[in-house]
């Protein structure tokens, strides 16, 4: 797919804006921008599963937590190199997604939703109760951000938030590019085919089960990457990351922005973080508002923000 000129301009402008935030904004803005990008990585990967393949998982918090704890354990016990830690996070999350996915993908959508939720909460209860290993409800704490070193030749410090911001930005841009490549690859097209009609895809010779497992592992790996980045940002890993309340975040983000579009999860992440910041200013009952927003979207605005936007553009175009 070739980008239209206005889309190209939008990409360049957003990148410039993100670099500008890193260079000139205050600390709070930088922090929020990092939260947006980490959530966007989580949601972009997740939307390969939900938007592209039509599978609704309620357990991706488990892979996010696998990434977070994976980076934590790696950093505390093996090596505190941030990039190696992120690699460990991705690998652990992908392996966990492979194991859990193996049991989940061969079933119908209803079973799939039920099983992912159950397995996700299994991970949560393990993290919560295996106190000696995982720190229980306190989680893992004291994970440091050491400089990124390239074989001792070059060292880039990321200790300050402003420095770490550019690492997050780089990972975010790479992830967005990778997700877009996957969407347009033969794999992505096969996944869309499975979403539209799994039987027909099966008859056409695609192994629906294997494709579903592949996308499950890919989205789990992105969740782990996001989890690792958050652990470096907050310097801790918490069991709540595996909780279903957290698994619901990429769902709401994708729905807010609009499924089946690339820009949907990006726009959704910005709205989600902004909304949460505003709601938490005046009330502690964020989950209630989360639920109400979800309800309103499902009852009335299933295309999300990007869907509404596209409809407006479509109408404007049709009027010509």
Alpha carbon separation from 121 to 62, 100, 115, 195, 239 (Å, rounded): 8, 12, 10, 26, 10
Q: Does 240 bind another protein (CB under 8 A)?
A: no
| Cβ-based nearer residue to another protein, 81 or 209 | 209
Compute the distance between CA of residue 57 and CA of residue 65 in angstroms, rounded to an integer.
15
Alpha carbon separation from 215 to 23, 38, 83, 219, 220 (Å, rounded): 36, 20, 24, 6, 8
Q: Does 295 bind another protein (CB under 8 A)?
A: yes
Q: Does 280 bind another protein (CB under 8 A)?
A: no
Compute the distance between CA of residue 307 and CA of residue 313 in angstroms, rounded to an integer.
10
Using CB under 8 A, which of 10, 291, 311, 312 touches another protein? Answer: 291
Window contacting another protein (CB under 8 A); options: 23-31, 65-73, 86-94, 283-291: 283-291
| Cβ-based nearer residue to another protein, 59 or 75 | 59
132-161 binders of another protein (CB under 8 A): none
Q: Does 58 bind another protein (CB under 8 A)?
A: yes
| Cβ-based nearer residue to another protein, 136 or 159 | 136
In this structure, what token pair is assigned to residue 83? 């990039």
Using CB under 8 A, which of 81, 106, 209, 276 touches another protein? Answer: 106
Q: Does 197 bind another protein (CB under 8 A)?
A: no
172-199 burial, b at 16+ Cβ within 10 Å, e below that, comes to: beebbeebeebbeeebbebbebbbeebe
| Cβ-based nearer residue to another protein, 185 or 280 | 280
Closest CA to 120 of 210, 246, 291: 246
What is the CB-side half-sphere exposure of residue 227 using CA atoms within 13 A?
39
| Cβ-based nearer residue to another protein, 229 or 293 | 293
The H or E element containing residue 85 is: helix 82-104
| Cβ-based nearer residue to another protein, 44 or 71 | 44
**Shortest separation between residue 129's beta carbon and another protein, angstroms:** 5
Asked whether the CA dihedral 252, 52, 36, 90 is positive or negative, the reply is: positive
Query: Contact positions toward another protein, by CB under 8 A?
Result: 50, 54, 56, 58, 103, 106-111, 113-115, 117-119, 121-122, 125-126, 129-131, 244-245, 248, 251, 255, 285, 287-288, 290-292, 294-295, 298-299, 302
């Amino acid at each position: 797919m070739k980008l239209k000129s206005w889309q190209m301009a939008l990409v360049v402008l957003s990148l410039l804006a993100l670099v500008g935030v890193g260079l000139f904004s205050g600390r709070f803005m930088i922090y929020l921008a990092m939260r947006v990008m980490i959530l966007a990585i989580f949601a972009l990967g997740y939307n390969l599963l939900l938007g592209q393949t039509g599978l609704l998982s309620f357990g991706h918090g488990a892979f996010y937590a696998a990434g977070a704890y994976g980076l934590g354990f790696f950093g505390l016990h093996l090596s505190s190199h941030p990039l190696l830690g992120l690699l460990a996070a991705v690998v652990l999350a992908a392996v966990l997604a492979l194991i859990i996915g193996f049991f989940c993908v061969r079933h119908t959508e209803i079973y799939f939703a039920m099983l992912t939720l159950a397995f996700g909460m299994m991970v949560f209860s393990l993290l919560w109760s295996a106190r000696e290993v995982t720190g229980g409800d306190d989680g893992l704490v004291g994970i440091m951000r050491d400089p990124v070193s390239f074989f001792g030749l070059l060292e880039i410090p990321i200790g300050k938030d402003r420095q770490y911001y550019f690492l997050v930005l780089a990972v975010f841009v790479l992830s967005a590019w990778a997700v877009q490549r996957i969407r347009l690859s033969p794999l992505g097209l096969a996944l869309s085919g499975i979403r539209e009609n799994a039987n027909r895809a099966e008859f056409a010779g695609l192994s629906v089960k294997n494709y579903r497992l592949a996308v499950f592992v890919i989205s789990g790996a992105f969740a782990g990457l996001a989890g690792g980045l958050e652990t470096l940002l907050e310097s801790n890993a918490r069991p709540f990351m595996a909780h279903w309340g957290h698994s619901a975040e990429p769902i709401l983000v994708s729905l807010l922005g609009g499924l089946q579009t690339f820009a949907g999860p990006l726009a959704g992440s910005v709205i989600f973080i902004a909304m949460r910041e505003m709601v938490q200013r005046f009330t502690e009952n964020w989950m209630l508002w989360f639920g109400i927003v979800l309800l309103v979207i499902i009852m009335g605005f299933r295309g999300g923000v990007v869907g509404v936007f596209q409809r407006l553009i479509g109408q404007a175009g049709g009027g010509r």
